[in-house]
Amino acid sequence: MEQEVLAILSQVIHPAKDADILNLGMVEDVRVEEGKIKFRLVSSSPDPLMGSIKKQCEALLKETFPDYKVSIIELVREKKTKRPLELGQEQLANVGKIIAIASGKGGVGKSTVSTNLAIALAKAGYKVGLTDADVYGPSIPKMTGTEGMIPEAEQTENGGELILPIEKFGVKWMSIGYFATPEQALIWRGPMACNALKQMVLQVKWGELDYLLIDLPPGTGDIHISMVHDIPLSGAVIVSTPQAVALADVLKGVNMFRNKDINVPILGLVENMAWFTPAELPENKYYIFGKEGGVKMASQLGIDLLAQIPIYMSIRENGDLGTPDTIAEWANLAEEVVKRS
Ligand SMILES: Nc1ncnc2c1ncn2[C@@H]1O[C@H](COP(=O)(O)OP(=O)(O)OP(=O)(O)O)[C@@H](O)[C@H]1O
Ligand SMILES: [Mg+2]
């Protein structure tokens, strides 16, 4: 008899959707028992026409089966929309140390240091990932020759999405630059930029990592505070050029991590562009930005000096070409970072 009931219900047309209620998937669990015809009438959103559809069903069924009672349960079952992004720390479960690379000032070589440190750590045998947290000027895609690549996404069981990092040079890379052009990113203000950045860390399928490096954007603004607050950092590396004028900015960066609510250990300072040695005069060192500025800075701030990286043409060239730089300083820096973290 259920089949007959279904045949009758197929005559009921949803007035707004121009299809019968069976085809619309609105009829569920039809049962005929103890003199009763029962079923559920389901809609995927609150529907003002449900009342009249129900009445139509009742009228038609009573006409054909006058001896039966008709009992219809009305149900609104809203379709599960994608769960709003809950950025938990599940993806960091198998990540060992998370290290931020920061500087007070822009253009001091943070991204260069981050990229080469990541590659050096990978060469030393560690599993490494790097996230480019610079929304407005992401440079990791270019520096790693992965520009234009589009990371794949993977659905999670609860309807969310994970981003798969790009792998090259033995490192897993992630950057907002894979998703948005700088023009698009420029219109992101405060919270949106912060969220995008957190996604670059928390929504990425990192898998097992010994080190996750985070190339922070220059400065010490809201984005930084929010970032260092929400991500369980194990340490920070500060990058600076040797000029005395950079000290005030470096101090700001250092204080951000030393803030009592944040309290992230500073592993030390990298003095970048420490001197220039021309290829034709390998014994000569020209202290373009001042001599031993980094050494003084580190001692004034009470932090260790991890490395002095000279100005080499190869560094800039490799950065532009998206190829790893091979100077010994990067391997030494990696060793110092491992020792202290
Ligand atoms: N030691 C170095 N020798 C030669 N060139 C360098 C060196 N360090 C960095 N550079 C070059 O300086 C430029 C700026 O470096 P980089 O992008 O790494 O700085 P940044 O601090 O990340 O800048 P931003 O604040 O914009 O993020 C790049 O062209 C890079 O190749
Ligand atoms: Mg940078």
Cβ 134 under 6 angstroms from ligand 1: yes
CA-nearest residue for atom 19, ligand 1, is 109
Cβ 325 under 6 angstroms from ligand 1: no
**Band of the pLDDT at 191, cuts 50, 70, 90?**
low
Distance set, CA 281 to CA 278, 285, 287, 313 (Å): 5, 9, 14, 13
Domains and CATH numbers, the chain: 2-76 (3.30.300.130), 90-340 (3.40.50.300)
* Token digits of residue 111: 């991204």
Please choose from 112, 130, 276, 313 the residue to mutate so as to test ligand 1's pocket, defined by most ligand atoms within 8 A of CB: 112
pLDDT tens, residue by residue, 66-93 = 999 999 988 887 665 544 445 788 899 9
Ligand nearest to the CA of 275: 1
pLDDT tens, residue by residue, 248-288 = 888 888 988 988 888 899 999 999 999 998 888 889 999 99
Cβ 111 under 6 angstroms from ligand 1: yes
The pLDDT score that the predictor gives to residue 88 is 82
pTM: 0.76
CA-nearest residue for atom 31, ligand 1, is 316
Q: Which atom of ligand 1 is nearest to the CA of 114?
A: 18
In sequence order, what DSSP letters do the residues of 32-75 get, joined into one string?
EETTEEEEEEEESS--TTHHHHHHHHHHHHHHH-TTSEEEEEEE
**Band of the pLDDT at 16, cuts 50, 70, 90?**
confident
Looking at residue 135, its amino acid is V
Residue 240 near residue 290 (C-beta atoms within 8 A): no
Please choose from 105, 111, 144 the residue to mutate so as to test ligand 1's pocket, defined by most ligand atoms within 8 A of CB: 111
Residue 115 near residue 197 (C-beta atoms within 8 A): no
Looking at residue 110, its amino acid is K
The pLDDT score that the predictor gives to residue 324 is 92
Ligand nearest to the CA of 103: 1
CA-nearest residue for atom 3, ligand 1, is 311
Which residue shows structure tokens 């998703």?
179
CA-nearest residue for atom 23, ligand 1, is 107
Residue 162 near residue 204 (C-beta atoms within 8 A): yes
Helices marked H in the chain — which ranges? 2-9, 50-64, 110-123, 140-143, 182-186, 190-202, 222-230, 246-258, 293-301, 313-321, 328-340
Sequence-ordered list of residues with C-beta below 8 angstroms from that of 248, at least 6 positions apart, any chain:
104
pLDDT tens, residue by residue, 136-169 = 788 999 999 999 898 998 888 877 789 999 999 9
Taking each continuous run of H as one helix and of E as one strand, the counts in the chain are 11, 15
Q: Which atom of ligand 1 is nearest to the CA of 320?
A: 31
The pLDDT score that the predictor gives to residue 9 is 94
Residue 187: pLDDT over 70: no
Residue 132 near residue 227 (C-beta atoms within 8 A): no
Q: Which atom of ligand 1 is nearest to the CA of 310?
A: 1
Average pLDDT of the chain is 89
Residue 315: pLDDT over 50: yes
Looking at residue 184, its amino acid is Q
Cβ 329 under 6 angstroms from ligand 1: no
Partners of residue 268 on adjacent β-strands: 237
Helices marked H in 259-312 — which ranges? 293-301
